[in-house]
Structure 1
Amino acid sequence: MKLRPYFFVFVLIIFISCKSDKDSEDTAQTSTETDEPEIQENPTKDVYFGNLHVHTQWSFDAYINGAASGPDGAYRWAKGEQIPGGGDGTPLKIKKPLDWYVVSDHSEFMGSLPKMADPAHPASKHPLAADVTGDDPKKSFDAYTQILDMISNGKNDSILGDPEVQQDFWKQICDIADKHYEPGKFTTFAGYEWTSNPDWQNLHRIVVFADTENVPPKPFSAIDSDVPEKLWEWMDSQRSQGNELLAIPHNGNASDGLMFPVTKSYGGSELAEAYAETRMRNEPLYEISQIKGTSEVHPQLNPKDEFANFELWDYTLASTATPPKNKKGGYARDALLRGIELQDSKNINPFKMGFIGDSDTHNSAASIEEDNYTGKFGFENDPKHRIDGPPGVSKEAAKQVREFSTGGVGAIWATSNTREAIFEAMQRKETFATSGPRMKVRFFAGYDFNEQILDNDNWLESAYSEGVPMGSDLSVNSEGKAPVFIIQALKETDGANLDRIQVIKGWVDNGKNQEKIYNVAWSGDRKLDGNGSLPEVGNSVDLETGKYSNDIGDEALSTVWKDPDFDPKQHAFYYVRVLQIPTPRWSTLDLIKLNRPLRDDLPKTIQERAWTSPIWYSPSE
């Protein structure tokens, strides 16, 4: 297989985040089966794991970077089938199938670039087609930068952006999603990415439709407008036409402070009631962890958090591989804190968001398993290219690739594995994120939970009837009682043991936001010191073999915890962070596979983790 010019292009196209597929998915038909299976609903809910940030070769940047399959292949991979891998040709196969999956290719010139290689398609006659599909890397790079410039500056192209072409590809994406939807077993949604990146600052959103019955003829793209308020305006217009949909922003870490504005938004909106209500109506969730790093916290913003330096991908989307100047406005906890500060002072909260984890793969396969990582782009399917970058790539771009994470997982507590139940769960924020493992985490708040509630067989029924789950508001207690939290974490089956459970609290005191991290449950016989800190769990990783053992940590951790510092007059939020014991990072496993020494510029081990959606408390006025 020849090396396409994607390795040259990568230095510029790292920011975003379909050759026709062998799977003949262009002609995919919707299922004609009429006998729907009876869906058993669980009122206390089950957790379903998946990804909704998935690109295939139908995305222009994925195609030029070596993606080997389209939407049909992506869904087959998520169900456990083997698909082509691109790069060195190694096929892709997940070890444990997912419960739900969403192909969300870029709306900008959706499907048009791969059609440049099809002589029967109008895109093959495009002035840039020969350069994009040819063997000259420089010509391909120059052609791509022209296409990229059009997208970044909102310039359409009469061929690549032909409305009929876009409508055709969008219809196929919806049809393929319907084809793979198996209610009760495997859930799909119609979705796409809106790819706004003003001045290389990330404002991207994944847009997901509740169903495919009345989707618009084509998606709203960043070429239509790169302003989030315009996207929300379009989304509201869709609701007026009978569509239900939501958007999920991602990679605030690469937004240079634009994702969670401190004063005015990129679109010029004041942080006032209209902005807050519109944003939260359209964006109930935030993607806190993915391939381009984790954006929960940053050491500069949260210097007292000993676990803040986790999988940081500290770049904007420019080709210069330089860090953003503004950390504030780019990280989730900072946004949550400013949200309750705004609620305290103005009675608005534009950042009242739940959490979800995701991928941002550009090769159909959300390679979320640390020991089965195949990279973001097709060219990374070769482990040498994940570590070194392909031949000719700049040192800066190679460094960015090495610092990619495996990507996160979205975990959703729903009554059934159906579009209706999963979409409703996303709307109510009963979700949590993980950095990859499929651990199970429960989080409830109430005022009258008994300390022994977890000993009861029906504790879940009591938790739902007497309290609220993650993603909810906790009503004010007339007696001024401190809230009581039920937390349970179970390790991933056949995965690593758990280190600890932490509760992260943010509150407003005299108009200023505060934060504190409580260690509330942990493995072993470790003791808290006078500051509430906990000794490290240890590390069982053998750096020569890449193996670890579960002779440290626990399979499950749980607690019933009461806030010892509660003040009923203070706005507050609480969310849970669960840490695993250390395990080998993907880069360590690759270097061992390549028989190379481990690098000092990369973490050798990783403490994978989960983050629940917050629970908010607001005092009565």
Structure 2
Amino acid sequence: MRKRWKYTTALAAVLSHAAVADTINDYFGSAAAPPFEVAEQQPCRQNNPHRNVHFGATHIHTTLSGDANAFGVTNRPDDAYAFARGEPITLPAPFNQTHGSRVQQLARPLDFAVVTDHAEYLGEVVRCSTPGSSSFNSATCKMFRGEELGGWPEEMAHLARMFALVLKGDAAPRNPDVCGEDGTACIEAMSGPWLEIQRAAETWNDASEDCAFTTFVGYEYSLAVDSNNMHRNVIFRNATVPTLPVSAQEAGTPQALWRNLERNCLDSDTECDVLAIPHNSNWSAGRMFYSEYPGANTPADEIRMAELRQRLEPLVEIMQVKGDSECRNGLHQVLGSADELCDFEKLREPAEPAVDCELSTGVGGMQLSSCISRLSFVRYGLIEGLKEQQRIGVNPLRLGIIAASDNHNATGGAVAEAGFEGSSGQDTLPADRLQGEIKVGNVATNSPVRSNPGGLAGIWAEENSRESLFTAMKRRETFGTSGPRIVPRFFGGWEFPQDMCKGGDFAAQGYEHGVPMGGELPSTHGPESAPVFALNALRDASDEGAPLQRIQVVKGWVDDLGRMHQTIYDVAGNANNGASVDIETCERKGEGHAQLCSVWQDPDFDAKRDAVYYARVVENPSCRWSTYQCNQLNPADRPPSCSDPNVPKTIQERAWTSPIWYTAPRQRN
């Protein structure tokens, strides 16, 4: 175990040198090297020009996040990285118990990880947790520590603690009871935990030639608009980062976040580089991918804002604990056959008779009460990007794909269906995890049994170093999985050899004759040409994986009336292979594949029309986590969700690749 570093002593040193700022913005300065030694990265022993696969977690919360802290989580960034490396970690005891702590450990360590604690309320947690602070004995801080619950029911005490710091559901002004009238006391207090986050990342990053484990400095920007999720995970390339993480309390729109990151990182004349990853678009009521340019007065202003978003947001999180955000059937002006696999891991029941937002956005996405918008889903966000490219010449939604967990126990990578221990101090017992619905005040509605363990991010990079992994993320050579370590490759071109799957040089041929996932197809060879795609996938051979059933290509485009179209092609394997699972024993039955490979040409290609393609790799059916846990309970102790026909008993785990784009010649700049 490496030496731990606590922020409490550093906080006093940081604040003792802090000058009183004239304005709040003075605290959020340009990037600079950290006040500690940073190890120089050595050349990695394992370096593959055709790139290796690396699995990791890009969305992890610790006790520094106000919500995790309120839910009783005590694990810190150091603990999160130790867990990702394979060390055991202690999880909170069941609520209102003083014993029964649980120990969890990964069977397979991760290759990389990022702690992304909420920037919002980062200073408030310090102020309320540090004896001697001027607000420590305030009514708000006492309630946050659970000392005065103000009439809340005992079983809701953890929610009361969280709401002590939150004035309303959306990004709120800082609480003067904790932060002072101008809020600067809490901004100053952010310095300590921000330094702890940086130190932990540096401590655990392996800069030796072994390159066994890579970390990045990061945080979460947690904006809500009309109770709609607009959150982003912000990840930095190296140790040179801004003086403080800008939160939704300072930057009240995504555009304000992008401008801040541009000013204080990208254009800071330092080595700082950064990307932001939108997540939980399924909670956004269409706001995440809605095309809007606040403050733009001219077409040139719109183009500039679209280019900035494209520069800063190369990736999107397609799945996590709070559900799948890929697609949903039956939405406004989405034409094409229904996609049977769109019902996967939805927080809102697929058959729910909800109102369609059509071309507008809704209110209450995080409360699961809004209208349902096609722009809450990644697939239609990608197609919306094609529409914007046709309109202004820039695609602001050219998004690669990853998956993550949003785990609030500091246990990133704990995504197996069997043995799921929950994702926060809220769900410590099976009975908690199997609840049908929890109202989180006026902020959100949670459906624990419809939640899931989350997924993993996959990156194709030459080596496991910060520079190599970050560069791969920027070029979008990434994929996401729903948990298993499925390994997909996806290349697009015009003249792939038909026997690519038979040789041992699949990747070499892919790079030589085309572009990998995340790339753009080169110009067409002529009006009679159609793109060719080379796809390969390996199953997760561990107990966490099942045999592969099929590979699909998902295609999206826009017609002349602005309507969205989708087509799903099965290109390898067999959907009707007879595979099944016994839900009483969770024993899998039927045949599947250890590997699937195909060279496939689009039979419906139109050279005059922009298109976006991505691959989806699907396993045979297996038991869902809730089925495992229901089976472990005595029949008399099983909650109603165990017999609810609307709660899936089985799932088909999967992987999604980043897209490959085709831009018609007339659209190119």
TM-score, scaled to structure 1: 0.88
Aligned to 2:655: 610
Which stretch shifts more, 608-617 or 156-165?
A: 156-165
Amino acid at match of 1:283: E
Deviations 1:1-22 (A, max 9, x none): xxxxxxxxxxxxxxxxxxxxx9
Aligned to 2:216: 189
Aligned to 2:587: 547
User: Quick one: distance in 2 between partners of 1:269 and 1:517?
Assistant: 39
Amino acid at match of 2:313: E
Post-superposition shift, 1:179? 0.2
Quickly say closer, same or farther: Cα 1:233–1:392, change in 2 above 3 A.
Answer: closer
Preserved contact between residue 47 and residue 440 of structure 1 (Cα < 8 Å): yes
Q: Identify the match of residue 359 of structure 1 among 383, 401, 405.
A: 405
RMSD value over aligned CA atoms? Answer: 2.8
Aligned to 1:98: 110
1:140-539 matches, within 5 Å, as 144-149=162-167, 152-157=170-175, 159-160=178-179, 162-183=186-207, 184-212=211-239, 214-237=240-263, 238-241=265-268, 242=270, 243-262=272-291, 264=292, 272-301=302-331, 304-314=338-348, 321-366=367-412, 367-388=414-435, 400-480=447-527, 481-494=529-542, 495-512=545-562, 513-523=564-574, 534-535=575-576, 537-539=577-579
User: Alignment length, in residue pairs?
Assistant: 585
Preserved contact between residue 381 and residue 397 of structure 2 (Cα < 8 Å): yes
1:27-46 matches, within 5 Å, as 36=42, 38-46=44-52
**Secondary structure at 1:206's aligned position in 2?**
strand
Post-superposition shift, 1:52? 1.0
Amino acid at match of 1:493: A
Amino acid at match of 2:565: Q
Amino acid at match of 2:197: I
User: Quick one: distance in 1 between partners of 2:215 and 2:119?
Assistant: 18
Deviations 1:417-448 (A, max 9, x none): 00000000000000011111110000001111
Aligned to 1:564: 603
Quickly say closer, same or farther: Cα 1:390–1:505, change in 2 above 3 A.
Answer: closer
Quickly say closer, same or farther: Cα 1:61–1:35, change in 2 above 3 A.
Answer: closer
Gaps of 5+ in 1: 1-21, 524-533
Amino acid at match of 1:185: A
Amino acid at match of 1:619: A
User: Quick one: distance in 2 between partners of 1:457 and 1:430?
Assistant: 21
Preserved contact between residue 66 and residue 162 of structure 2 (Cα < 8 Å): no
Preserved contact between residue 112 and residue 123 of structure 1 (Cα < 8 Å): no
User: Quick one: distance in 2 between partners of 1:203 and 1:104?
Assistant: 15
Quickly say closer, same or farther: Cα 1:354–1:290, change in 2 above 3 A.
Answer: same
Post-superposition shift, 1:347? 2.3
Which stretch shifts more, 150-159 or 316-325?
A: 316-325
Preserved contact between residue 196 and residue 222 of structure 1 (Cα < 8 Å): yes
Post-superposition shift, 1:148? 1.2
Preserved contact between residue 99 and residue 187 of structure 1 (Cα < 8 Å): yes
Quickly say closer, same or farther: Cα 1:594–1:573, change in 2 above 3 A.
Answer: same
Amino acid at match of 1:292: K
Quickly say closer, same or farther: Cα 1:434–1:390, change in 2 above 3 A.
Answer: closer
**Secondary structure at 1:349's aligned position in 2?**
coil
User: Quick one: distance in 1 between partners of 2:548 and 2:41?
Assistant: 43
TM-score, scaled to structure 2: 0.82
Gaps of 5+ in 2: 11-34, 95-100, 180-184, 350-361
User: Quick one: distance in 2 between partners of 1:393 and 1:153?
Assistant: 16
Preserved contact between residue 151 and residue 223 of structure 1 (Cα < 8 Å): no
Quickly say closer, same or farther: Cα 1:501–1:269, change in 2 above 3 A.
Answer: farther
User: Quick one: distance in 1 between partners of 2:226 and 2:251?
Assistant: 14
User: Quick one: distance in 2 between partners of 1:361 and 1:497?
Assistant: 27
Post-superposition shift, 1:217? 1.2
**Secondary structure at 2:556's aligned position in 1?**
strand
Preserved contact between residue 202 and residue 259 of structure 1 (Cα < 8 Å): yes
**Secondary structure at 1:464's aligned position in 2?**
helix
Amino acid at match of 1:382: L
Amino acid at match of 2:102: T
